[in-house]
Amino acid sequence: MNTIDLVIKIGSMALIDKDYNDINYNVFARLSRELRPGCALVSSGATEIGRLDYIKRNGGELFAADCPDAAEQIKTDYAAQGQSVLMQNYRQFVDSKFSIRQILVEHQHFNDGAKRRHLKEMLLRCPPQNAIPIINYNDAVSDDENRKMEIQTMRKEGQKAVECVDNDETAAQIACLLGCSTLLILTGTDGIYQNASDPSTLVPEVAAETSDFLIKKIEELQKSCVGASRKGAFGALAKLEYIKEPLKRGIKVIISNSIFKIRDILAGNARRTVFYLKK
């Protein structure tokens, strides 16, 4: 296996047990045991897991001082604390015969040609070396204001810019970078619903013979998407926006629930929404 054919993204709240306000070790275990060389995992969760870990060790959350940068600083500190916990759990549950490699990316790695090539080459070395890359946006060192200034400058110069404000966008960009066949987005719902509050309105399939027609179908779905799973998340509306580029490149995209086994989702034996261009 010398290619990465499957990119998987899992969201922060899929890794959290809301009832106990703790890490959901069952999800970590189930997901990790299905990871193999030839796939790449884009994992959110560092900030939220860092927050929970801080509370456990200190009895309360970090206090937001009365300054404009307080929220960003707290996010930075939680992310730095959570990264080690996140990787510790993956290492615990991934098959011991496989290596795992943490790869922290920022928007600049997608907007600079040389950095894109370096990132792609590094990822593609993983399968033949029996390794699984686990990718996350580098919140611990990324400054929101600086990122926005860099993106704004690029757009003023007429360049197309990747911002990576959400790991759904990061996963979509990784899928495009690698040219994989499938992007699987694991979340807290079974897929995309016509009515956001009614799981019985799940849309099982969105397909078209041309990318233009497929994008139009997605834009119709976006009209019914509201809300997000947590503060700072962008929800189904953003997921549908970010998957447009992979779909234009012929990459199949599946959105499904993290409670299901990956093999069942891929085989169509679990509830899901699948998007693809008809051949």
Domain ranges of the chain: 6-277
Q: Examine the pLDDT at 135 and tell me if it is beyond 50.
A: yes
CATH number of 6-277: 3.40.1160.10
Q: What per-residue confidence (pLDDT) applies to 110?
A: 85
- The DSSP element (H or E) to which 44 belongs, if any, is none
Name the helix (H) or strand (E) containing 135.
Answer: strand 131-137
pLDDT at position 152 is 56
Mean pLDDT of the chain: 88
The pTM assigned to this predicted structure is 0.89
Per-residue burial over 178-204, b = 16 or more CB atoms within 10 Å of its CB, e = otherwise = bebebbbbbbebbbbbeebeeeeebbe
pLDDT at 69: 73
The pLDDT, as a whole number, for residue 163 is: 60
